[in-house]
Structure formats: structure tokens, C-alpha cells
Structure 1
Amino acid sequence: MADAAMAAYDRTMALPAVLTPALDTREAIADSLHRFMLGMDTNDAELFDSAFTEDVKWDLFGRQMNSLEEVHIECFDKTIIKLDTTHYVTSVRINVAESGTEASLSCLYNAKHYRLGTGVDPKAPWFWTGGTYYLEMVKVESEGLWKIKFYKMRKMWIEGDFEVMGHGPKKD
């Protein structure tokens, strides 16, 4: 299937950012993480963006970003859309603040990466990583969504060819 046809096919499978019926609080908080992961894995910028506040802070093992615009410039547009990826999360734990409008979430992740268009090639090079995510969220009443205002990723292990990520050789 051609890239353009595949992109159109993927969009037909997308669900809206706000799901019905309304999710309970913990489901809605976890859904911000799911929108983030699915937005990356399907290269769906709209779904990806729906997971974050405009002033989101990212900490990727010490690399700081301070807005959704910067996340797009430094990560989504530069790297994510150039990859075939699958991100899985498990051991999700959610703590809701007494205010009911803020929450934190931690989980384990496992993510496999291939260069765009090569994910179905069994001989293609890949990069695989696992670790922990930590997120702080806020409820955005006007949109009916929980959004991530802080995201931190901690790699615990890596395997495969780091150059798949488009950053050049891995430096120790």
C-alpha cells in the first residue's frame, strides 16, 4: 500500500480525542497517556496534541523542552513522524490530587522503532527501549480532557541500532 494510501487508512481508524460515553476520572487520566502513545504510533498530530497542554514540559533523560511547539520542532516533526513505532505501557499507577483537577501517573514503557516504511520488513534494523514514564496532568474543563503538563522519560535499557532514531551513533 502506498504511503499516502496508508496514511489515509490510518486516519479512518482514528477515534476522536473526547470519547463517549464520558470516561470516569482514572480512565480519562490514563486516556491522555493513550492519546500520546497512539498519536506517536499513528503519526496523528491532532491526537498527539490533544494529550498535552500548550505549555507542557518534557524531560527526555535530561533534554528539556518547554512547550508543545518545541516538542513538535524537536521531537514530533523531526523524529517521530519519520518512524514506524509501537509504544506499550503497563503497570500504570494514577494518583489524583484532592482538588480533583490535577493528577500524576507513572508506568513502565516498551517501545520499538523502525525507519518509516520498514516496520514490516523482518530484516530491517530496529531500535528498542524500555523504562519508566512519569507524567503530571491537569483537567482542562473547557475541552473535557485531561492533558499532560509534564512528561519525564527514563530509559532503563536499550537494544538494537540507535541510528534508526535518526540521531547518529549512540554516544556513551
Structure 2
Amino acid sequence: MTSPFSLPAVLSPPMTGHEAVVDAMYRCVMAFDTNDKDLFDSSFMPDGVFEVNGRSMTGLPEIHATGLALIFSVDTTHMVSNVRVHMKVAALSAEQHEASLTATVLSQHFVAGKGMEPAQNDLMGGSLYRGDLIRDTDGLWKFKHLLIKSIWVQGDYSIIGGNFSEMGK
């Protein structure tokens, strides 16, 4: 689903270097917040691994069915900060095709459609993200592996249907 708050995956003018790698993170979390599957897919390799608190999902079909189904079922905002990028340069080429990044993310979750109602329960979390990315043939940087580790949570786990790391086990 396209949202009026989602820009195209490929921006103009095209980004390069660190900025283009960080944009993969921004596309990913903006997709979370706008329920935009296509934008999410632009940030992930088809066979990528999405790991949240020890729960691993491999490939876009599983990520859509499990991870995005949960994230898209609630109203969220994700604020990304402290992003660091490490570019890997191949020995025989000056062109960069692999990178890693780390970030700190603060996320707020509400029952879908209830966030603007007074006195609603919510779940807020602070997490560390670590990603390994490659530049795909379409020129976009995409996650091969995105690891999310929640450091703290505050609020009502029932907002997301229980402890995410224990769901589906």
C-alpha cells in the first residue's frame, strides 16, 4: 500500500556512498510506519534475513507473513539516530558493493487507529539495529541481514499481541 508519506524508493538526485546506505534504513522504518510493503521491499534483498530479539525470518515471503504482518497491524513511529556506516571496498575494485551499519531506534506502538485517542495504552521500545547490506542491481542498497535487539520496553505488550521474540515458536 502506498502512503502519501512515502517517497519513491529511488530519490532524485540519486544518493551515493554513506547517504545511500543510510537511506536503506530510512526506507525500512518509513515502510513500518506507513504500512508500505513496496517501500519495505526496496530496502531488503528477496532472500534477506530479518531478526528481531532472536526470532529469525528468512526471505521476503516469511518476513511479510510474520514480521510485517505484526508491524503493519499497529500504528507505529520509529525514530532512527546514531547511525554509523562502514563501507567495504572489494580488493580488485574501488567501487563499493557491501556495507554494514548500526543505529539506535526508538519506536512507539499503538493499537491501530487508536493512537490519537486520549489515555491509550502503548508500547515504547529502545532498540539497537545492525545491518549488513549490498548494493543491488537496481542501484539501491538493501539489507542482506537486519538484526534488531530491543534494549528496553515500556508499556503494554498486548499492543503487539505479546512478546514478539516468543511468538510463533
Q: 1:3 maps to what in 2? A: none
Would the aligned equivalents of 1:57 and 1:150 in 2 still touch at CA under 8 Å? yes
The alpha-carbon distance between structure 1 residues 94 and 65, as it changes in their structure 2 partners (threshold 3 A), is same
Q: 1:139 maps to what in 2? A: 135
Q: Aligned letter for 1:119? A: G
- TM value normalised by structure 1: 0.88
SS state at 2:123 partner:
strand
The alignment of Structure 1 onto Structure 2 pairs a total of residues equal to 161
Query: Quick check: 1:75 aligned with 2:67?
Result: yes
Provide the aligned C-alpha RMSD in A.
1.8
Q: 2:81 maps to what in 1? A: 90
In 2: Cα distance, 1:42 partner to 1:18 partner: 17
Would the aligned equivalents of 2:76 and 2:110 in 1 still touch at CA under 8 Å? yes
Q: Aligned letter for 2:100? A: S
- TM value normalised by structure 2: 0.89
Q: 2:7 maps to what in 1? A: 15
Larger RCO (CA within 8 A; separation ≥ 6): 2
Q: What percent of counterpart residues are identical?
A: 33
Q: How does 1:111-126 map to 2 (within 5 A)?
A: 111-126=107-122
Q: 1:109 maps to what in 2? A: 105
Task: Summarize deviations over 1:14-40 as a string: whole Å, max 9, x none.
Answer: 211000101121111000000000001
Q: Aligned letter for 2:120? A: A
CA drift of 1:150 comes to 0.2
Q: Which runs of 5+ in 2 are unaligned?
A: 91-95
Query: Quick check: 1:159 aligned with 2:154?
Result: yes
